[in-house]
Amino acid sequence: MGLGIVIVGAGDCGTRAALALRGHGYSGPVTLIGDEDHAPYERPSLSKGALLCDTDPTPIVTEDRLRSLGITFLKNVPASRILRDTHEVECSDGQRIAYSKLLLATGASPRRLRDQMGRISYLRSWRDCQSLKASLSAGMRVVVLGAGFLGLEVAAAARTRGAEVTVLETQPRILQRGVPPEIAAALGARHAQAGVTIRTHVAADLSIGSHSISLGGKEEIEADLLFGAIGAIPNTRLAEAASLSIENGILVDSRLRTSDPDILAAGDCCAFPLAVAGGLKVRLEAWRAALDQAEVAAHNLAGGDQALGLLPWFWSDQYDTTLQIVGLYSADLATVRRDIDKESFVLFHFDPGHRLVAASGYGPTGRVARDMKFAEMLVANSARPDPELLGRPEVNLKSLLGA
């Protein structure tokens, strides 16, 4: 451990890993390298509350606290290459930092559309958030490209700020990936009620004009602001240049080790075997997964041998509603619906062997959370609860945990 641990990426995952190293009692040198000009902050609110009110970023930890923990925090200095032979990371300013173990928590970047005029805004960083917030105003016409979580969250925020919002999606429905159609429909209705226009199945060949966007050469939609939310690409440049294995992200094993055992990767940048899905290689762009991976990475960087046992968990907040999904939903699963009240429901998703493998909930914030927590525990236990009982709202899910 003499040379210490270097972490590239000071987002939620990298920063939590640095803190967890100290939390686990590791006392060697720790260097956290960030490419933004801020103390580490939480990203989830950037597409939600931070677009609505004037706030500072939610800090994960202050620079003072990092100092007092003996964590060297380098901000605004992107790492530029990894020298595997000498176990060093070189930064953009030329300095080299030696490591005995290295963690890559480089995150992901927005997938970009062809846009010669540079009109499309994207959102990943605090700076992006502030710039988007500053350009939103009441009455302006906003066109959101992509109806995934990010696009819909920004649509909700822009609408709440009084903009005229249109969301364009090439897929047949919103939230096509990983969200059950019942929940997509309920959330789509909430957007319609708020006055957002959602158009699915639109032509994929867009061309961006100075004041409008053209769909398949047939139709022009006027737009004062274009926002792109068509997915994210894992930041693998450093890993690729160092000849690490890449496969839809930096490929890691169940211990988060890359093809070089002294280099680990975690968070949005890595593709890992998901134990609850039989080792299927997945890359999750999810906050909780990043936090869970940070814990395991810290353990293993400090010499441990912990396998990743995370359960996928996603959430989104839009207007006054929340949605939560635990496990990996897919359309081939059998679904049982539990209506909590007029506006809130939970769906339980079973595999062909009657095992509960995923659950998803939707409704006003807070109302579905409790049932979803029990659902999470049932999924984590690989339980086979009686579907008939799950569907009855008067049955307390707690009573099914022992089953």
Closest approach, Cβ 62 to another protein, in A, equals 10
- 200 in helix, strand or coil? coil
The footprint of another protein on residues 346-365 (CB under 8 A) is: 365
22 binds another protein (CB under 8 A): no
* DSSP secondary structure letter of residue 257: B
Closest approach, Cβ 209 to another protein, in A, equals 39
369 binds another protein (CB under 8 A): yes
The footprint of another protein on residues 25-44 (CB under 8 A) is: 42, 44
Member of 36, 58, 257, 273 binding another protein (CB under 8 A): 58
Closest approach, Cβ 176 to another protein, in A, equals 26
Are 52 and 160 a contacting pair, CB within 8 Å? yes
Token look-up 């696009």 returns 151
Token look-up 């988060």 returns 256
What's the token pair of residue 385?
């609860």
The footprint of another protein on residues 249-288 (CB under 8 A) is: 287-288
What's the token pair of residue 349?
């998703």
Paired sense of beta strands 250-251 and 270-274, if any: parallel
79 to each of 26, 45, 94, how far by Cα in Å? 23, 26, 9
338 binds another protein (CB under 8 A): no
CB closer to another protein out of 370 and 384? 370
The footprint of another protein on residues 281-310 (CB under 8 A) is: 287-288, 291
Count, in order, helices (H) and strands (E) of the chain: 9, 26
Mark 313-332 with x for binding to another protein (rule: CB under 8 A) and - for no binding: x-x------x----------
230 to each of 55, 94, 110, 144, 160, how far by Cα in Å? 27, 35, 8, 10, 22
Other beta carbons within 10 angstroms of residue 77's beta carbon come to 15
Member of 195, 279, 366, 403 binding another protein (CB under 8 A): 366
Member of 367, 375, 390, 400 binding another protein (CB under 8 A): 367
16 binds another protein (CB under 8 A): yes
According to DSSP, the residues that pair with 334 across neighbouring strands are 350
What residue ranges bind another protein (CB under 8 A)? 16, 42, 44-45, 49, 58, 60-61, 287-288, 291, 313, 315, 322, 365-367, 369-370, 373-374
